[in-house]
Chain A
Amino acid sequence: MAAVIDLRNVSIGYGADAPPVLVGVDLTIERGSFVAIVGPSGVGKSTLLRVVSGLHEARTGDVTIHRDPRPDSRAVGLVFQDPRLLPWRRVARNVRLGLEGLAIAAADRDRRVEQALKLVRLDGDYGRRWPYELSGGQRQRVGIARALAVDPEILLMDEPFGALDAITRHGLQDELLRIHRETGKTVLFVTHDLEEAVHLADRIIVLGGGGAGAGPARIVRDVANQPGRDAIAFRDQVEQLRSGIADNYSI
């Protein structure tokens, strides 16, 4: 399969003088795959995602999307943990944000907004609602629809379900699997929840090695996964990941 995201010897840090938080990242992600990035808090999962999205500059190394080091911001669709809806825009106008300024006809733009809302099951009158009129799960669906509306090949998701209750989270996880199946998007999904990673991803990247006095973090495991496996295999996979993280992380 063709690589869509390619990171070569990437190191990431905040500020020129501060020590790096993540070093030596070599990572190639193929088209259509669903990759989860897991690891303990503060290890640099979200920062890695921000580097791929272009919101944060890597300190060293090369980051390319389709071999392009500076792709258009719309090449990727970003979904945040907090949906970050613009409260002064109704739902449909929030979803439209990434389409504004593109050379597409208004009718086509409206159609894409409608399709994106339909894909996250928020069609009907939801487009006319204000963000404050939605539940937490619905707001996150709008965040996903906004990312999908620009029709990016890559979806970058930063703990998108982390702040939701268990029932809503499980519902949205299944919705995301359906959307991934239907659209064939490449998904890079950050989570601290190992069960979530094993449930969703076909490949799991474990970051570790950081922590108090342990120096910068790095990729410590890169595991192939089979979402939808039986319960025993599921638990085994989660336990293996858990022990892998514990072996490489000092608190």
Chain B
Amino acid sequence: MRARSAIPLSALGVVVFLLMWEMLAQSGIVPARLLPSPSAVPGAFLSEFRSGTWQTMVMASLSHYLMGLALGSFLGIAFGTAAALSPWWNAFQAWVVRMLRPIPAIAWIPFAIIWFGVSESAASFLISLTVFWINYYATFSAVRGVDKDLIELAHAFGQGGLVPRLFKVILPGALPGIMSGLRAGLGQGWMTVVAAELFGIPGVGMRMMEASGLLATHIVVLYMVTIALLYGVSDFLFMQVQNRVLSWQR
């Protein structure tokens, strides 16, 4: 099925999902405190928006997210490129990478608090960790996968030095893979935003924890929907940029 013709069916799926959820919540089988109905979300939004809480929390989360995303992506791409290009560096850091890679970002929360306090920097640090690994591996594979014939071409046409080879052949050739890593990091970053803010850093995650403590589950759902929409918008914008940057692909 073509992507364009699948749109009505996908929209129908969302409508059916929301209807079933609404019916289950309205039926009384599950108490409203435990499962708020989707129709309660617009009211929760108006309430949060009028008080200014929604805007404050979203802006705070966006700030953590963008800082963590930028830092993690940059370092992931830089270290991934270095490891792919230098066998010496790759061997030197290989076991360190294997030790650190399996540790999830939330396991770093105690150190984030010790090093940065309950601050924006702590949240950005945790987000950057998640994003770093995704970009590191995506870039490593992409750089390793660059056509060796094109690298030889660079040598044959006077572009064999590290800098021209890197910027004229290797990085452009690896760009599709690097962009895939950036896109995956974009999504994973939002997941970490919530986890990073659960321990009291102002933002969407913290507001969700506050609301759940008061059993205001309709507000929790509102921020869940907010995260989903923010991800959707950021992914859409990224795809527009990617389509433009990779317009040379058939």
Contacts and interface: CB of A to CB of B under 8 A. Distances in A.
A150 interface: yes
A148 to B, nearest CB: 12
Contact of A55 (B156, B173, B175, B249): B156
The interface residues of chain A, by DSSP majority, are classed as: loop
A80 B149 contact: yes
B180 interface: no
Given A87-B248, A88-B175, A100 B150 contact: no
Given A55-B152, A80-B149, A132 B158 contact: no
Interface stretch (B67-75, B95-103, B124-132, B164-172): B164-172
Contacts of B164: 100-101
A73 B160 contact: yes
B98 to A, nearest CB: 31
A84 B149 contact: yes
A53 B155 CA distance: 10
B250 interface: yes
A130 B247 CA distance: 9
B159 interface: yes
A97 B172 contact: no
A89 B155 CA distance: 17
Interface string B129-169: 00000000000000000000110110111111000100011
A97 to B, nearest CB: 5
Contacts of B168: 86, 97, 100
Contact of A97 (B152, B157, B248): B157
Contact of A73 (B156, B172, B248): B156
B149 A73 contact: no
Interface residues of A, number: 23
Contacts of B172: 86, 88
Interface string A70-100: 0011100010101010111100000001101
A74 B157 contact: yes
B159 A101 contact: yes
Given A101-B164, A130-B248, A132-B250, A86 B169 contact: yes
Interface string A118-159: 000000000000111000000000000010001000000000
A102 B159 CA distance: 11
Contacts of B175: 88
The interface residues of chain B, by DSSP majority, are classed as: helix
Interface residues of B, number: 19
Given A86-B172, A88-B248, A132-B248, A150 B157 contact: yes
Given A73-B160, A97-B168, A84 B150 contact: yes
Contacts of B158: 72-74, 98, 100-102, 150
A87 B152 CA distance: 15
A146 B154 CA distance: 12
B152 A146 contact: no
A101 B150 CA distance: 18
- Residue in A88, A102, A146, A150 whose Cβ sees the most chain B Cβ within 10 Å: A88
A87 to B, nearest CB: 6
A40 to B, nearest CB: 23
- Residue in B155, B157, B250 whose Cβ sees the most chain A Cβ within 10 Å: B157
A241 B119 CA distance: 80
Contacts of B250: 132
Contacts of B248: 87-89, 130-132
Nearest to A76: B156
B149 A98 contact: no
Contacts of B159: 97-98, 100-101
Nearest to B176: A88
A53 B157 contact: no
Given A55-B155, A86-B150, A86-B168, 15 more contacts: A73-B156, A73-B160, A80-B153, A84-B153, A86-B172, A86-B173, A88-B173, A88-B248, A97-B153, A97-B157, A97-B168, A98-B157, A102-B158, A132-B248, A132-B250
Interface of B: 149-150, 152-153, 155-160, 164, 168-169, 172-173, 175, 248-250
25 contacts: A53-B156, A74-B158, A78-B157, A80-B149, A80-B153, A82-B149, A84-B153, A86-B168, A86-B172, A86-B173, A88-B173, A88-B175, A88-B248, A97-B159, A97-B168, A98-B158, A100-B159, A101-B158, A102-B158, A130-B248, A131-B248, A132-B248, A132-B250, A146-B157, A150-B157
